Structures are given as structure tokens and as C-alpha cells.
Amino acid sequence: MNIRRFSFAFLPAVILAFISCMNVNNSSGKDGAIRITVPGGERGLYTFNKDNATSYKVSIILDKEVIDSQTADSTGGVLTFDELETSTYTVKDEVFDSDGIRIGSGSIEVKVVAGETAEKSILMILTNGGKIYETNYLLFHYNSSTNKYYYADSTSEITDKSFTGSNSVIAGYAECKNGAAYRYFKSNAFEDSGESGGNSDSNFATLLKTNGDRTTFSITYQDDTPIIDPFYYDETTDTLWIGHYTTTDNTLKFLKIENPSTKFFNIQNNPTFATSTGFSVSGATYMAFAIQGSDIYVAYKDNSGTSYLQRGTITSSNDSDFSISAKGTAQSTEQMGIAGTINDIAILYDGYVYALVSNVGNYATGSDDTFYTFYDCKVYSRGALLKIAGTDSGFEVEDILGWTTSARTINSVGNPESAGSSIGPLEAYIPALKENSQKFYGPRRFVAIKPKELSIADCGANFVLPNKTTGKSGKLFAHNRVINVNLYNFAIDSIVDLENIKFSNVCLSGNSMYISADYCTDTNVTEE
């Protein structure tokens, strides 16, 4: 009798346990489901609530393709995705504020099993205490003898403030979270305002601040070469980084300047570059880098000129113990679906990485900015903005913007000749004039970071060949402009054409601006 009583008393608990193990949220016998709770977190660590978040968006991704997405308001809730085939999915959770700015994101891998519902939450971190890093416009001007930079609140005011390096090299520029702009000079320097000083010793470096502050310190360069874009500011830690590499053994070296926004003058007199051990590429030319916390991305070109991007982890950053360990394998631009050279990298507040790729010149893989020959040849002036997400095994490219994949033919008219040789067509991997509002000519640097957009210096060329019928010469049309990309929909939003700023010396055969032909002397040519 006692056994019977126990059995009947225990039966409801058994049934309840059985039911709780079953899928009660729409999965069929052959399909499964995923149920996501937002806002998500672990042990109460999540930072989002109705006071700092307006909406959430959860996406289900399979083989890099979004197959379904749902949204929740500021109160959050439970979002269910059912009728999912058995597989392993990436689930991405994004959170937005009242202005539609994405202020955080997170993702996890979820294995879907037939007939079961996987219940998950995703940890997301509110970056930088909810303060979104925002810069003014810092534009650079190419000149063979000196480098000039413009600093303003908008591109319509770029002539308001400028600073120039003389008898020195402006190696890089950055802007901190407090709005101060920094310039790194490898040797002595002065400002347009007349401020002079520094030290003629090439072993000296100078940091200049837009408010007039200056600090000069000695660096033993030896055979060091600056990374092409050697200066990066990490707003999450308030840290300036200067990157060099030693040409004898291709060893990366970094100088870490902490808290420049509040302790600008506390740089030691003779700081030492901390040397990376275990992260170097023989014969590489290092182009750019970006750092956020312990996360680092480095772009370089190998001996063949192929451009690569490598992710790594900084395990320590003091002078006596500093190393970078590679995370995953390097990917070439060709492996990422494009071509050319990576010129700049930025890691934004939401953890996404953005990289600029330029392909300008006569070669499909490089970017040398000079067009040497035009008869029966290929020419390139194109580029792309890559949106990159870090993964457990390195990184992956989520999206590509502004890339010109296929060529168009630029023809001469009337069978013109040059020195007795016919001028054949150009096979041009260049955006047509009518589509250049959605394509890049050759992106160079990020010149501003805004909450909803990136501003990019874009520099390249388009061509018109001679027209013997009208007597018009051919011409190279150089384009120097600032392109604004909307981060919310990852699309080109607006373009500002510049007349007085040249980002690079894009040229034809070194000097000539015209493609000449016999009896074609009229240079009044319109771009097509």
C-alpha cells in the first residue's frame, strides 16, 4: 500500500519532468527551434535595460546568410525561431538606442537538434559606459615635400585649421575621446601658426596636440621603419599606439602611450618600443593596424605584393614582456573576395572591424597610384570597405561595400594614333561616372568616425581616350573626395568632392595629365 501511494504521488512530478524535456514551442519531429531571451546575460552581467536600450534585433544566420530575424522593444522578451533544419546556426543579438545607433552586439553558436528547442541568452556589453566615440574630420593632403593635415568639425570647414610638418615626416594622426587631435612626427616639426621647436636629431619624435600642447621624446630608431599608418587610438582604454617594425628581422614593435587625454605630458623621456615575439612575417611591409583592448588586427604585404589581414591577441604590453599571438590564419584580399592593398583599419564601439582596400594602377593586386601605359592594357581604380566580425577561429568578412568586380571598355573615337601606333581600348576596372556615387575609386583613410557613419578619404582616377573626329585629347580625371557611409544600413550615404586637397599623387606616366594622340590637341574634355 505504501508503495502504491508513493507511485501515484510521484507520477505528476514524472509527467512534469517529461513534459519539460519535450519541445513545447513549435518544433516538429524533424525540425528544431531556438528560443532567445533578450536582453541576455550571464550571472546578471548584462548591462542593457529599458533605460539605455530602445530595441533589440536577433538574427539567425546559416552559412553567412541571414535566414530569419525578429525584434523586441525596450522591455525585451522571448523570441522563438521554429521550423529550423538540423544544423549549427550563428545567432546574433544587436541592441539599439533611441537614435537607431547600435550600442552593442553579441553572438553565439547554437546547435539545433530535431524535435528540441534550444534555449539561450546572449551576453552583450555596453561599450565605453554607453558613450559612443565620435571624432571631428582629420584629412590629409599629399605633397611630395611635406604633409599637410586639415582639422575641422565638418568637411565644409576643412580649411579652418591646418598643420604642416617641415623637415620631418608626419607619420600619423589620431583623435582621442575628448576631442583632441594628435600628430606624430618622426623628427622635428612646427605648426602653421608659427609654433616651432623639436629637435633636429632624427631619433626624436614629437606629439602635437590641437590645443598647442607638445611633448618631445627620444626613440632609438636604429633600422626601424614606421608602419605605413603607424598611429592608432584605442578609445576603450584611452591609449595611443605607435607601430614600427625592424627591417632586419621583420619584428613588430609598439609604443604604448596611456591616458593621453588626461596625462599627455607623463610620457617618459626615453620610452622603449615593446617588441613583439612570435608575430612577424619575413619580408613584409606593414601597412596599418588597429587595437581594441587586447585585440589587434594587422595589415601587411608580403614579398609578392599580396595584401593580408591578420588578427592577433596582445598578451602583455609592458616593455619587458610583450607578445602578440596570432588568432587564426591571415587572409589575403583575394581570399576575402576582392583585390588590392589594405590601407586602414578601425575597430568600432560595437566590436565590428572595418578595413579599407584600394586597387589603383596597372596591376590587379596592387595600388601604386601610377598608370604607366595605356595602349591595349588594363587599368584599375577601385576599392572597397570591408565589414569584419571576429570569430573564435580568427575573423570573417560579413559584407563588402563599393567594390567594382567587372571591367568596362573605354574606347577611343576615329582610330587615333600616337607616334604611328593605334590607340587601343582600355579594359577599365573603374566605376563608370554614373555609378561612382555607390562605388569607390580607391579608399585611403578613415577621416572621421561618427555614431552612425564612417567618413572615408577616397582617391583614384577615371579616363577618357582621344577622339580624332573632334580633335580632343584623352585625359585622366583625378578624384579626391570624402565618402560618408551609413553604418545602420551599410551603404554610401553622401559624397563631398574636394578641389584643394589631394590624398595621393595619382598620375599618368608620372607627369602628364593628358592621353595624347596625333592631331588631337583640344584638352577641353568632359568626363564620361
Contact between 465 and 510 under an 8 Å Cβ cutoff? The reply is no
In this predicted structure, the answer to whether residue 77 has a pLDDT above a threshold of 50 is yes
Verdict on whether the full-model pTM lies above 0.95: no
- CA 189 to CA 184: how far, in whole Å? 10
Helix, strand, or coil (residue 311): strand
Residue 81 confidence (pLDDT): 93
Q: What is the mean pLDDT of residues 368-380?
A: 81
Q: What is the mean pLDDT of residues 269-273?
A: 60
Residue 17 confidence (pLDDT): 35
Residue 25 confidence (pLDDT): 47
Q: Any idea what DSSP says for residue 142?
A: -
* pLDDT tens figures, 386-395: 999 988 889 9
For 155-213, give the DSSP string.
Answer: GGGTTSSEEE-SSS-EEEEEE-TTS-EEEEESS----TTS-----SSTTEEEEEETTS-
Cα dihedral sign, 168-171-176-181: positive
Q: Which residue has the higher pLDDT, 504 or 99?
A: 504
Q: Which residue has the higher pLDDT, 275 or 136?
A: 136
Q: Which residue has the higher pLDDT, 349 or 95?
A: 95
Residue 270 confidence (pLDDT): 54
Contact between 460 and 440 under an 8 Å Cβ cutoff? The reply is yes
Contact between 367 and 442 under an 8 Å Cβ cutoff? The reply is yes
Closest CA to 207 of 178, 238, 168, 246: 168
Of the ranges 7-21, 430-444, 460-474, which one carries the lowest mean pLDDT score? 7-21
Instruction: Return the CATH architecture of domain 2-128.
Output: Sandwich (2.60)
Domain ranges of the chain: 2-128, 132-218
Tell me what the pLDDT averaged over the chain comes to: 79
